[in-house]
Chain A
Amino acid sequence: MTDEEQARVSDEPSLERARIGLRHTLILGTSQRPLEVPRWLAGENPRAGRLALVAALGLRSRFDHPVPPPHLRRAGLEHEAERLMSREARAALRRVYGAKKRSVPRAVTLRIIDVLAERGLSLHPFDFPLLTDLLATNDAALDRNARMWRALTSGNTDNAAPPDAIDDTNWTDLKPAERAAYLRQRRRAAPAAARELLAATFSGETAAVRAQLLEAMAVSLSGDDVEFLRGLATDRADSVRTLARRLTSRIAGTSEFDERMSTAHERLELKSVGIIGRKKVLMPKLPKDLAEAKVYAWLSDSFAGVSTTLLAERLKLKRDVFVEALVDERLRALFLANALSLDEHDTALAIAAALEPPEARRVAAGARDALAALEPTHRRAFWNAFAPALEAGGALEERCVFAAELYEILRVPPPSALLDPAATGKPFKRWLEALTNDANRDQPEVAEIAIVLADRAHRAAWRERLNDVPPATASTALALADLFDALDLQSNKTT
């Protein structure tokens, strides 16, 4: 070993020891603090020595690798390979969401989420980065891993995992809207237990959350709830006190109920109109000086939560006549919501069936929460109730947009014949003509909506018709058709 090599070897430990000091000097700058270069590196040229030292330190640093921290943890994802979508379905899904040219309608996304949930299938985690639009919905029906991925990528790495199964012990971990939904569900099954759950946590919530949760008490309301609701007369928030009074007033036998029925009765005017065929008409008796902006609040204060059945009895009208007499759109929307929340489904269906197309869309949107809170079996019936309005919609675009809006509310598929392409002959032709004349025109995603809401047979019929549609318009719809076909095939294989 030469002297130089010997010096180098003996200097290596000191170089290692001095690394931290040298690093500080380099950060500070040699103009501030002189750099002591080891003799064997310095040579005759000070600059060359400094540069050699930088190279040596830099190279040494390359061999420093990270050490894993002691407490690594699982994120909580559950990987069940057998529940994953098939390769064919994944490929089709990526065609739908990977093409960034057009956004996918929300109803389409919700339908995909619902179909996967119905069939017990999961999105493949490897596709999550491509499915940001789909995952952005953060819908409760999204599978557990997908919701977790969303939480992880939004920076929420603590408790990102949603609870596996929601029950009375962990329901308070949910977000307010999810807790309200859980309470509604519990009210249907065990009203008293649900009330106790609410009472146990009620006072610790904010006013907005208290009101949101209290709304759930509207389900299966009975005399057993009176004491709890009257106890809220001293709540610190006016909104909660008002809501509690309103809920109490829905319970037959209470003084609030009688008072409310009387108020509702007094604020309605029953008239007979028509020269030949006399027809009953119910109109609100709006105060003369009521500002337009305050009309809805007045109507809501007068009629929200009032039983249609009992009000019809007071007015001495049969249910059909009562429904027919509701010619005012605002009253229709209010009484539809009342009938839905008070489980007067026949009345609600009769009101829905009497609606004309444009009004039907507005009324359905107005009664969105009440419709969405129904049991799935009852929601299915409302597709039929709204069917006349849907079919009278005329243009295919209007029909599909209304169907998409209804799907977003009801979250159950429509009757299979509703979007039968054979029944949309003229509207289809007009739609096709419009597309052919201007392929770039802004138009709702008719084919996409029809494909995802149709059953297998009608989907095939739609696919055939898409041959006539400009390719740019049909590509997403065809990918959706492939996706649903692949999901059908996978379900068949599984079963």
Chain B
Amino acid sequence: MAKNAIALSRIEAVAPDQSALGAARKLLVDGKWPQLERDAEHRFLWGACQGSGATPYRVVVEIADLGAKCSCPSRKFPCKHSLALMWWFAERPDRFAEGAVPDWVNEWHGRRRHTGGEDKGASSGGPPKSARAAVAEANAEEAAPRDPEAAARQRERNRAARELSIVQGLDELDVWIDDQIDRGLGTFGARAAEQCRLLARRLVDAKAGGLANRLDHLPTVYFRTPEARRHDVLLEQLGALHLLARAYRQQSQLGEALVSDVRGGVGWTLTREELLTGSGTLRHRARWTVLATRRELQPDSLMRFETFLAAPDSSEVRMAMLLDFAPAAMAASAGPGLVAGTELDAELAYYPSATPLRAIVAAQHASQIAAQAPAPTDDLKAAIDRYDALIAVNPWISDWPIAFRDARIELSQDGQCWAVDRDGACGVPLAGEHAQVLLDLDDVALYGTFDGRELTPLAANSALGPFWSSHA
């Protein structure tokens, strides 16, 4: 075997798993690779692989240690494109044209050298790194500054490139929504999953991860809605997506807080450090009661943990939600670590928003068992009015925690549980498998997440004592 050839066994050794290899094999098709090149010294392979987006992914492999880099958003390392590039070279080296090493390859290689990123283990035949370690290393490579000023310039360039990419993604989104309108909302169900997945991938490519998640989630929202209401919900969702795209393009006309919601909705994130050190960050110390914890598996295989908190605040109740994520495989042992029915003396830092809710625990001082949830001040009508007022400010909120007092829980003729106010004029249907435990109770103080149509109970104070949905 030639000195710089790649044996299939080496590729298998660096692959994160068998499924990545299987996916890579499917990419060994001529039409997928408009570019396959190597340098004269057989040090690097690089190429372009056509993915689902308009722009092909750029892939580079250093032959000596099979270090790789790809512009795709995969969490696996090396990704299927990198593995496929190696595989092409292992089986068909003649397919690779000889060429001068491009700047982007040199730049990447320079960063690898600078950070000592060579995978000694792989080149020396030792055990391959875990995928997670490799990803961490790859991220570290990305983040490693050559010098502070250059790094800042690079960050600015990256940021500008991302802004441009997102705007292109938003254009694609608008075209897609218009297509749905053209075909008719009535036909959406038949192609929902495939269509949304395809556009979500493009939005990931466009670095608009927040929008991609919304798109990925759309079929779930659509199909879990009763059939009679699906078209309305779809209309709301498509409308909200377009509104988000439109708001993103017109950020200069929005208030600072709403800009945070818009950018967050599209996919820009704040690190914990940025949030804690931000001068405008809203902080609130109080005795917070943990109302409930929820977990939900996302389409991207991450487990999403939501923890809802409430604290008395002058004449009303202040709410907060902590959001954590963990890989699904680790979900059993991961999580926020807060138990419903606990009272925390803690300072929370809220993410910037026109309707602040998401927060992190900035400092925790003490905790004890809560006797019950804080007493809400609103009645049901006032709570719904408050929800409407929030939508008017921030139209992208969906499930939102609300609280109200003096409710009674009864059944409709079709067996649906309802929370109604004292005179029965105002009411909300209750969702979730635990709502029925509250049946026939009067004067209930109820906390729940409201989507405008249904309320999913989180916690309640009643004559039978406190109810914590997470315990049920």
Q: Is the CB of B440 within 8 A of A31?
A: no
Chain B residues near A35: list those with CB within 8 A. 181
Report yes or no: A72 in contact with B238, Cβ–Cβ below 8 A: no
Residues of A within 8 A of B472 (CB): 126-130
Within 8 A of A (CB), among B272-331: none
A127: B residues at CB distance < 8 A: 472
B239 x A63 contact (CB < 8 A): no
Q: Which of B158-210 contact A (CB under 8 A)?
A: 174, 177-178, 181-187
| Interface segment out of the listed A22-30, A276-284, A287-295 | A22-30
Question: Within the complex, which residue of B178, B424, B425, B429 is in contact with A66, where a contact is CB–CB below 8 Å?
Answer: B429
Which one of B178, B236, B465 contacts A62 once the chains associate, using CB atoms below 8 Å? Answer: B236
Q: Once the chains bind, are A62 and B440 in contact (CB under 8 Å)?
A: no
> Contact between A66 and B428 (Cβ–Cβ < 8 Å)?
yes
Given A126-B467, A152-B436, CB of A157 within 8 Å of CB of B411: yes
- With A63-B391, A126-B471 known as contacts, the answer to whether A27 contacts B239 (CB < 8 A) is no
Report chain A residues within 8 Å CB of B246: 51-52, 55
Cβ contact within 8 Å between A94 and B440: no
Q: Does A368 contact B (CB under 8 A)?
A: no
Interface assignment of A494: CB less than 8 Å from any CB of chain B: no
Q: Number of contacts between A and B (CB, 8 Å)?
A: 168
Stretch of B100-108, B114-122, B360-368, B413-421 lying at the A interface = B413-421
Taking a contact as CB atoms under 8 Å apart, the answer to whether B410 and A126 are in contact is: no
**Residue from B182, B238, B425, B426 in contact with A58 in the complex, judged by beta carbons closer than 8 Å:** B238
Knowing A59-B395, A62-B391, A68-B418, say if A31 contacts B183 (CB, 8 Å): yes
Taking a contact as CB atoms under 8 Å apart, the answer to whether A149 and B411 are in contact is: no
Asked if A125 CB lies within 8 Å of chain B CBs, one says: yes
Interface residues contributed by chain A, number (CB under 8 Å): 52
Contact A65 B453 (CB under 8 A): yes
- Interface flag for B464 (CB, 8 Å): yes
- Tell me the complex Cα distance, A470–B379, Å: 53
Of A26, A50, A71, A81, which one neighbours B235 at CB under 8 angstroms? A26
Asked if residues A57 and B186 are in contact (CB atoms below 8 Å), the reply is no
Establish whether residues B181 and A79, one from each chain, have CB atoms under 8 Å apart when the complex forms: no
A69 and B413 in contact, given A63-B391, A74-B440 (Cβ under 8 angstroms): yes
- Asked whether, in the complex, the Cβ of B464 is within 8 Å of the Cβ of A59, the reply is no
Q: Is the CB of B35 closer than 8 A to any CB of chain A? A: no
B263 interface residue per 8 A CB criterion: no
Collect the chain A residues with CB atoms within 8 Å of residue B436's CB: 75, 128, 149, 152-153
Q: Which of B114-163 contact A (CB under 8 A)?
A: none
Q: Do the beta carbons of A54 and B412 come within 8 Å of each other?
A: no
Q: Which residue of B lies closest to A63 (CB)?
A: B388
Query: Are the CB atoms of A72 and B415 closer together than 8 Å?
Result: no
- Given contacts A55-B246, A128-B437, whether A50 and B236 have CB atoms under 8 Å apart is no
Within 8 A of B (CB), among A130-174: 130, 149, 152-153, 155, 157
Interface residues of B in 420-472 (CB under 8 A from A): 420, 424-429, 433-434, 436-437, 439-441, 452-454, 463-465, 467-468, 471-472
B189 to chain A, nearest CB (A): 11
Chain A residue at smallest Cβ distance from B420:
A68
Q: Which residues of B contact A55 (CB under 8 A)?
A: 239-240, 242-243, 246
- Given the complex of chains A and B, what is the CA–CA distance between A58 and B410 in angstroms? 30
Chain A residues within an 8 Å CB radius of B420: 68, 72
With most chain A CB atoms within 10 A of its CB, the pick from B174, B236, B395, B454 is B236
Would you give the shortest CB distance from A147 to chain B, in whole angstroms? 13
- List, in ascending order, chain B residues with CB within 8 A of A230's CB: none
What band does the interface of chain B fall in when counting residues whose beta carbon is under 8 Å from A? Answer: 35 or more
> A325–B59 Cα gap in the complex (Å)?
92
Complex interface: chain B residues within 8 A of A71 (CB): 412-413
Task: Determine if A57 and B415 form an interchain contact, defined as CB atoms under 8 angstroms apart.
Answer: no
- B243 and A59 contacting across the interface, CB-CB below 8 Å: yes
Q: A48-100: which have CB < 8 Å to B?
A: 50-52, 54-59, 61-69, 71-79, 81, 84, 94
Complex: how many Å from CA A64 to CA B177?
A: 23
- Chain B nearest CB from A129 CB (Å) reads 4
A67 to B177, CA, bound (A): 31
B410 / chain A contacts, CB cutoff of 8 Å: 72-75
Q: How far is the CA of A62 from the CA of B454 in the complex (A)?
A: 12
Question: Is A47 part of the binding interface, using a Cβ–Cβ cutoff of 8 Å?
Answer: yes
- Asked whether A31 and B184 contact (CB < 8 A) given A68-B426, A152-B436, the answer is yes
Q: Which residues on the B side are within 8 Å of A84 (C-beta)? A: 464
Encode contact with A along B377-396: 1 for CB under 8 Å, 0 otherwise.
00000001000100100010
Q: Does B355 contact A (CB under 8 A)?
A: no
Is the CB of B237 closer than 8 A to any CB of chain A?
yes
Q: A54-B238, A62-B236, A65-B428 are in contact. Are A75 and B452 (CB under 8 A)?
A: no
Inter-chain pairs besides A28-B186, A61-B239, A72-B411, 13 sampled, C-beta below 8 Å: A23-B235, A51-B177, A51-B181, A55-B243, A56-B239, A62-B452, A66-B453, A68-B425, A71-B412, A72-B418, A73-B411, A79-B440, A128-B436
The 3 A-B residue pairs whose C-beta atoms are closest, nearest first, are A58-B239, A29-B184, A68-B427
Query: Interface residues, chain A, CB within 8 Å of chain B?
Result: 23, 26-32, 35, 47, 50-52, 54-59, 61-69, 71-79, 81, 84, 94, 124-130, 149, 152-153, 155, 157
Q: Could you list 12 A-B pairs, sorted by A, with CB under 8 Å?
A: A23-B232, A27-B231, A31-B184, A47-B174, A58-B238, A59-B391, A62-B395, A68-B426, A71-B412, A71-B413, A77-B439, A78-B440
Q: A-contacting residues of B (Cβ < 8 Å)?
A: 174, 177-178, 181-187, 231-232, 235-240, 242-243, 246, 384, 388, 391, 395, 410-415, 418, 420, 424-429, 433-434, 436-437, 439-441, 452-454, 463-465, 467-468, 471-472
